Structure 1
């Protein structure tokens, strides 16, 4: 192999290596900071100094509370403000951001209807701006709490910031300020209600979601969930899981996830569910089935139809390049031998 061919060969290998590294480690430039800070101005009826609004009010009362937003930059910024009811996510944590989580049917008072405020606020460079929120309590008296979050997020306006938002991977930074509203100090008895079981297709797994609700207007703390799955009518346990230290927001539901690393077959199953919290226990034994259509969907998700990843594409390109290079070098070698034979014959 000549020096030129060796150099070309090494260049190709280097390029392929860089392509593989880049394709398997795609990362977008993330926003370094939220771009602002905030401060809660606690009113006189604040019940605790815990870094969030914890207010006790009378039925039908109205009140305005304030937040201060500080902009450390020299340029003016816009801070977006949204008000969301608290939900419980699949990890057993209180979530103020995920609006895709459905509301529970036990909700009576919606946080977004009780608390109102501006959609955005402009903050000049090196200045502080106030955000005023109006609370209008329900006229009828109630026990328990209404829980929601005030979401503060910098509006991305520059060309560079918009480019970051449109990349495959982007980090969005925001603040979520909780607000707890109550009228009485009555302690409510916790109560859970079972809803349904569903089987969902995930990559390389079958996911069983156990859906149940906290139907009381109060927090459910230190919750433990135990699930055992068996074939209907059999005593043996096929799959089991246990998770502790979970929490539920008032009047919310949870899709408790249970993932198994194999496809479920078309037959009836039983789920034995035990939930304990605050010295109480709830126990359900529920039947569910994997229908033929769901079975097909799960098997397809667990099978070979996963699409081409970047790594596979790189390896295919690598194979084609090496094959092409091998053919090229083989033809060149044969050509050299042919010329040598002709020279020998001419002698």
Structure 2
């Protein structure tokens, strides 16, 4: 798996570099483009890939081995480094790799990069999943080549998948709902359902049907469902259930202070596995007050405006009445 990622696309800019993996002798599936390696306890080996600089200028590149995580969209993410590990994680793939984190490549040339791997000393079942992240440095600052008035807001990177296995034995999936809590980001108020995939295997084709009810009540006040998601091994998945909308009639919708229940129906691996998970959570007045500082609640603004208009009408009427009396 070699992927190219863009962030905040604002202008069409060329990608002037690429990466090329070199085959490994212990590759499990030789038909895939990423590293899927069979290892033995304590095994040491070196894998190599090339960074190809196709530009007319010299460049330096950031190189990181990142442990796979799960983002809020239910997509396995290989772009984050040194994220706090899941409490059940036995072996962190980031700690098993030694490599140069900055690589200089001359113009119109390639450079081979070596990553030394040391497999865990103890036996393990499942997958240690990560990605080799490569990004050209100074992309945002280096916009002198762009047309006048155009700023470079794109950042391009490549990720080369890295998976270590000792065997292909099947692991029984185990999914937990750790907690539910109210949160806010970019004007969106939501209730987060923090799920934990606490075994070293990918949960595939995940479907979530979420409902929020008042505690001990069947009344559904919030719901969300989504399919075709994935969860990385030993990772948390914060599944969001929207409370408000960023714009429109529900922009100022809020949960009243009280205790609620997050109810999840989760299916995975082509419906072979399923879970019904519940957690209670509490919304307080203090939480809502803090939240409203970030996302102001304007639901009462219309009444303030109407009240102000009414007051102005009364004042204007009084002035006219006094004027008429004085005129007589």
2:140, 2:153 within 8 Å by CA — same for their partners in 1?
no
Counterpart Cα distance in 2 of 1:40 and 1:240: 44
Deviation at residue 33 of structure 1 after TM alignment: 2.9
Listed as ranges, the gaps of 5+ residues in structure 2 are: 1-7, 245-252, 300-328
Given candidates 16, 20, 32, the residue that maps to 1:35 is: 16
Counterpart Cα distance in 1 of 2:140 and 2:281: 51
If each structure's helix is expressed as a fraction of its own residues, which one has the higher value?
Answer: 1
Given candidates 48, 61, 71, the residue that maps to 1:79 is: 61
1:201, 1:297 within 8 Å by CA — same for their partners in 2?
no
Give the aligned partner of residue 256 of structure 2.
265
Alignment of 1:278-293 (within 5 A): 278=269, 279-293=272-286
Counterpart Cα distance in 2 of 1:159 and 1:210: 38
Deviation at residue 145 of structure 1 after TM alignment: 0.9
Q: Deviations over 1:61-100 (max 9, x none)?
A: 1000100111112222212111111101111011111348
Deviation at residue 155 of structure 1 after TM alignment: 1.5
Deviation at residue 169 of structure 1 after TM alignment: 7.5
What secondary structure is seen at the aligned counterpart in 1 of 2:242? strand
Deviation at residue 168 of structure 1 after TM alignment: 9.0
Q: Deviations over 1:246-284 (max 9, x none)?
A: 100100011111112211101111121111112111112
Give the aligned partner of residue 228 of structure 2.
245
Counterpart Cα distance in 2 of 1:205 and 1:158: 28
Number of residues paired by the alignment? 277
Superposed CA RMSD in Å reads: 2.5
What secondary structure is seen at the aligned counterpart in 2 of 1:141? coil
2:222, 2:242 within 8 Å by CA — same for their partners in 1?
no
What secondary structure is seen at the aligned counterpart in 1 of 2:289? helix
The question of 1:214 aligning with 2:208 is answered no
Counterpart Cα distance in 2 of 1:43 and 1:226: 41
CA gap of 1:240–1:68, structure 2 versus 1, over 3 A, is: same
- State which structure, 1 or 2, has the greater radius of gyration over its C-alpha atoms: 1
What TM-score do you get using the length of structure 2 for normalisation? 0.78
Give the aligned partner of residue 155 of structure 1.
137
Deviation at residue 123 of structure 1 after TM alignment: 1.4
CA gap of 1:30–1:156, structure 2 versus 1, over 3 A, is: farther
Give the aligned partner of residue 291 of structure 2.
298
1:28, 1:168 within 8 Å by CA — same for their partners in 2?
no
Give the aligned partner of residue 328 of structure 1.
none
Give the aligned partner of residue 185 of structure 1.
168
1:156, 1:162 within 8 Å by CA — same for their partners in 2?
no
Give the aligned partner of residue 248 of structure 2.
none
The question of 1:46 aligning with 2:39 is answered no
What TM-score do you get using the length of structure 1 for normalisation? 0.74
Given candidates 235, 258, 277, the residue that maps to 2:218 is: 235
Listed as ranges, the gaps of 5+ residues in structure 1 are: 1-26, 306-347
Counterpart Cα distance in 2 of 1:182 and 1:265: 48
The question of 1:89 aligning with 2:71 is answered yes
Counterpart Cα distance in 2 of 1:63 and 1:203: 44
Give the aligned partner of residue 110 of structure 1.
92
